[in-house]
Amino acid sequence: MATKYIFITGGVTSSLGKGIICASLGRLLIARGLRVTIQKLDPYINVDPGTMNPYEHGEVYVTEDGAETDLDLGHYERFLGIRTSQQNNVTTGRVYYDVITKERQGAYLGKTVQVIPHITDEIKTHVLGLGESENFDVVIVEIGGTVGDIESLPYIEAMRQLRYDVGRKNTLSIHLTLVPYLAAAGELKTKPTQHSVKTLSESGLSPDILVCRSEYQLDSTIRRKIAQFCNVEIEDVIASLDADSIYEVPLLMQAEGLDSRVIEKLNLPAKNADLAKWKEFISKVKNPLHEVTIALVGKYVEHHDAYKSIVEALIHGGAMNDSRINIKWIQSDFLTKKNVAATLQNVSGILVAPGFGDRGINGKLAAVTYARENDIPFFGICLGMQCAVIEFAKNCAGLEEANSTEFDEKTPYPVIDYMPDQRNITDKGGTMRLGKYECKLTLDTRSREAYQTELIEERHRHRFELNNELRERLAESGLIIAGINPERDLVEIIEIESHPWFVGVQFHPELKSTVNEPHPLFVSFIGAALQKSGITDETVSRENQPA
C-alpha cells in the first residue's frame, strides 16, 4: 500500500492544541492496526529549538538519535508509543540551511535558487523521506503556525504540490479551527472558521475534514452551516470540546468519528480499535485512589511548558500508583535556607529540574538539603542531579567549596566539570552530549530495583558531568554510584543509601515515559512519595509495575 499523508493545518489562532489532535489521531490509527508516524514542520528560522530559551519555546524534546526538537514530538511519543528522530521535526532554518549548503556545493547547476521550486522541493523531500524510511501506512504532517502567516506559506504550497505528486487519494487535508462562543450574542460563531478555510483554500489546500475547537457542543444547525460554507460534508465537521485531560482527546475524537472518516476517505485497511489499555489508564487518571503532592523546583516554573515531559511522566507514574499528582511549582530563585522548610514542609516528594546557568542554584541546593535531611523522596534530573552532587560534596563529604565549573570556574573542588570533549566547543547549537546512551545499573540500588534490569538506555542533553577525579572522594563519604555509562565510564546515576529514596540522574528519564509504558523511575519515585505521605497499603504496589 502506498504511504498516505495527512496534512494538519491550524487556523484562527495559535494554542488550539494541534499537537494533541495530531497525536490523538495517530493513537486512534495505531489502535486500528496501522503503522503511523507524525512529523512536525516548524516555520521558524532557528535550525532547531535547541538554542531557544524555554520561555520562548517551552521544553526542548530530545530524540534517541540526539535531535533537539519541538515539544510536540513528546506528545507524539507519549500518545503513539513510537520513537521519533531528527526526521520527525523539520524547521525552516534547517530547510534553508540544507538548500544553501547545496547551493554552495554547486548542486543547482547555475540555476537561480528560489522558494519555489527549491525550498518547496526540499520540504517535500523531508516529508516523503520520512514516509519511505520505514514504509509507514500513514504519515501525519503537522504544519506549525497559523494559516495566513507569511512563514507558513512555503509549507502550504509544498503540501499542495504533494497532493498532486503522490495522488489526491493518498493525501488528506485536515484543518483545526476555532468556533468561539460570544456571550453577548449568546451563540457560537462560525465566521472565523469560514475566513480561515477561505485563506487556506486560496493557497490551494482546501480541507477535507474540519476539527472545530469549541467550548460548547456544536448542534446540527451549526455543523450544517460550517459544512455548507466551508465545502465539506456534515460528517466531516468534527467537534473538539475542552477535555479535563489531554489523554481523553483520542476518545473524544473517536466518538466524533474522526478516525472513521479518515479511514474511509483514505481507504485504509483498518480493524476495530483496541483502546483497552488506554481506557484503563484514563480511568486511573480520572478516578485516583490517592493524592500526593510533589514539589517541582526549577527556574522556569511560571512557564509550565518548560517542564512538559516531566509533568506528563509524573501523571503516568501517578496513574500506575492509582494516584493524582498535585504539583507544587517552586521558583528556585526565591527559595532560601530560611524559607525552605516553610515552603516544602507539606510535600511528599521533591523533584529538582534540569536547567542551565547559575540563576536559582542556591534555591535548588536548599531544596536538596531539605529533602536529604528530612528523608523526603528526592528526584534530581540532569542539573538536578548535579545539584545533588554539589550539595552532598559540601555537606556530607567535607568539600565546602565544591561547585560545578558551570557556575564557578575557579572552584577548588569541581565535583561537576566539563566533559573533556566539551571544553573547547564554541558553537552552541547541537553540540551538547545528546541522545541515547547506555547505562549499566549497580546491584542493590533503588534504580536497579525500579528498572528490574541491568542495562538501560536513556537520553541526554548536557555539557557537564560528575568529575571522575573526585568520584572516589564522594563515594567514600557514602554517595552511591548507581549507574555508569560503560563506554566512557561516566557516572549517570547517584543515590544516597541511608535515605528512603534519593536518586539523581544525569539523563532525562521523562522523555521516555509513555502512556503504555510509564517510566520505572517515576513510578518508583511516586511510590516512595506515597509511602512518605503515609499511604502504605498494597494499593501502592498493586499491578503497578511497568510492562
Identified catalytic residue from 248, 391, 458, 510: 510
Task: Give the Å distances, CA to CA, from 79 to 106, 210, 351, 447.
Answer: 42, 22, 24, 25
Under 8 Å between Cβ of 89 and 70: yes
Q: How far is the CB of 388 from ligand GLN (least distance, A)?
A: 12
Pairwise CA distance, residues 144 & 8, whole Å: 9
Pairwise CA distance, residues 68 & 83, whole Å: 14
Instruction: State which of positions 39-98 bind ligand GLN (CB under 6 A).
Output: none
- In terms of CB distance, is 290 or 461 closer to ligand GLN? 461
- In terms of CB distance, is 354 or 504 closer to ligand GLN? 354
Alpha helices in 166-292 (DSSP H): 191-202, 220-230, 249-255, 258-266, 276-286
Instruction: State which of positions 358-397 bind ligand GLN (CB under 6 A).
Output: 382-383, 386
Stretch that binds ligand GLN, among 41-49, 245-253, 369-377, 456-464 (CB under 6 A): 456-464
- Please tell me whether residue 461 binds ligand GLN under the rule CB under 6 A: yes
- Please tell me whether residue 437 binds ligand GLN under the rule CB under 6 A: no
Stretch that binds ligand GLN, among 5-13, 15-23, 88-96, 462-470 (CB under 6 A): 462-470
Site string for ligand GLN, 308-347 (x = CB under 6 A): ----------------------------------------
Long-range contacts of 275-281, Cβ-Cβ distance < 8 Å, separation of 24 or more = 275/27, 275/28, 275/31, 275/250, 275/251, 277/515, 277/516, 278/27, 278/31, 278/247, 278/250, 278/251, 278/515, 278/516, 279/251, 281/247, 281/319, 281/515, 281/516
Which residue in the set 189, 436, 440, 463 belongs to the binding site for ligand GLN (CB under 6 A)? Answer: 463
Pairwise CA distance, residues 374 & 470, whole Å: 26
Q: How far is the CB of 516 from ligand GLN (least distance, A)?
A: 26
Tell me the three state secondary structure of residue 297: strand
Stretch that binds ligand GLN, among 162-170, 349-357, 475-483, 490-498 (CB under 6 A): 349-357
What phi and psi, each to the nearest 5 degrees, are found at residue 325?
Answer: -105, 125
- In terms of CB distance, is 229 or 407 closer to ligand GLN? 407
- In terms of CB distance, is 48 or 137 closer to ligand GLN? 48
Q: How far is the CB of 354 from ligand GLN (least distance, A)?
A: 3
Q: How far is the CB of 373 from ligand GLN (least distance, A)?
A: 24
- In terms of CB distance, is 369 or 404 closer to ligand GLN? 404
Which residue in the set 216, 229, 356, 407 belongs to the binding site for ligand GLN (CB under 6 A)? Answer: 356
Which residue in the set 78, 163, 448, 462 belongs to the binding site for ligand GLN (CB under 6 A)? Answer: 462
- In terms of CB distance, is 451 or 464 closer to ligand GLN? 464
Stretch that binds ligand GLN, among 227-235, 249-257, 348-356, 521-529 (CB under 6 A): 348-356
Tell me the three state secondary structure of residue 176: strand
Q: How far is the CB of 420 from ligand GLN (least distance, A)?
A: 13
Q: How far is the CB of 381 from ligand GLN (least distance, A)?
A: 7
Which residue in the set 49, 74, 354, 363 belongs to the binding site for ligand GLN (CB under 6 A)? Answer: 354
User: HEC states along 373-436?
Assistant: HCCCCEEEECHHHHHHHHHHHHHHCCCCCEEECCCCCCCCEEEEEECHHHCCCCCCCCCCEEEE
Which residue in the set 406, 417, 458, 495 belongs to the binding site for ligand GLN (CB under 6 A)? Answer: 406
Under 8 Å between Cβ of 113 and 91: no
- Please tell me whether residue 355 binds ligand GLN under the rule CB under 6 A: yes
The answer to whether 396 is a known catalytic residue is no
- In terms of CB distance, is 48 or 406 closer to ligand GLN? 406
Identified catalytic residue from 212, 382, 387, 439: 382
Q: How many CA atoms lie within 13 A of 48 on its CB side?
A: 23
Q: How far is the CB of 492 from ligand GLN (least distance, A)?
A: 12
Pairwise CA distance, residues 403 & 90, whole Å: 38
DSSP 43: -
The answer to whether 508 is a known catalytic residue is yes
User: What is the rounded end-to-end Cα distance, in angstroms, of the chain?
Assistant: 32
Q: How far is the CB of 335 from ligand GLN (least distance, A)?
A: 17
Task: Give the Å distances, CA to CA, from 76 to 109, 355, 364.
Answer: 39, 23, 31
Q: How many CA atoms lie within 13 A of 152 on its CB side?
A: 22
Q: How many residues touch ligand GLN (CB under 6 A)? A: 11
- In terms of CB distance, is 436 or 463 closer to ligand GLN? 463
DSSP string, 464-484: EEE-GGGHHHHHHTTEEEEEE
Instruction: State which of positions 92-131 bind ligand GLN (CB under 6 A).
Output: none
Beta bridge partners of 213: 178, 240
- Please tell me whether residue 26 binds ligand GLN under the rule CB under 6 A: no
Q: Which residues contact 162 (CB under 8 A, 6 or more apart)?
A: 5, 7, 124, 127, 128, 171
Tell me the three state secondary structure of residue 133: helix
Instruction: Tally helices (H) and strands (E) across the chain.
Output: 18, 23
Q: How far is the CB of 205 from ligand GLN (least distance, A)?
A: 38
What amino acid occupies position 11?
G
- In terms of CB distance, is 406 or 492 closer to ligand GLN? 406
- In terms of CB distance, is 145 or 483 closer to ligand GLN? 483
- In terms of CB distance, is 141 or 383 closer to ligand GLN? 383
The answer to whether 519 is a known catalytic residue is no
Task: Give the Å distances, CA to CA, from 302 to 100, 418, 440, 488.
Answer: 38, 29, 36, 37
DSSP 91: E
Pairwise CA distance, residues 191 & 178, whole Å: 10
Positions annotated as catalytic residues are: 382, 508, 510
The residues binding ligand GLN (CB under 6 A) are 354-356, 382-383, 386, 406, 461-464
